[in-house]
Amino acid sequence: MIIPSRKIQDITLTNLKNGEVTLIELDEIYKKMGFLFVVSEGKLKKIKKENHH
């Protein structure tokens, strides 16, 4: 299944939970907002906010 490119603002929590987000999109979210995503078997398990000390 190919998912067309979309803006970060268009990604919903449901998209994340259903594994409908590409690694490139997850990387972009991490770079812009600092969120880490724990994924197992294509499904979102946990979202963590990276802390900068």
Read off the pLDDT of residues 1-51 as tens digits, 9 standing for 90 and up: 555 668 888 989 898 888 888 888 888 988 999 998 888 887 788 899 987
pLDDT at 2: 57
pLDDT at 53: 56
Q: Which residue has the higher pLDDT, 52 or 24?
A: 24
pLDDT at 45: 85
pLDDT at 3: 57
Domain ranges of the chain: 8-49
Smallest CA-to-CA distance from 26 within 1, 53, 15 is with 15
Q: Is the pTM of this model over 0.75?
A: no
Q: Within 10 A of 25 (CB to CB), how many other CB atoms are there?
A: 19
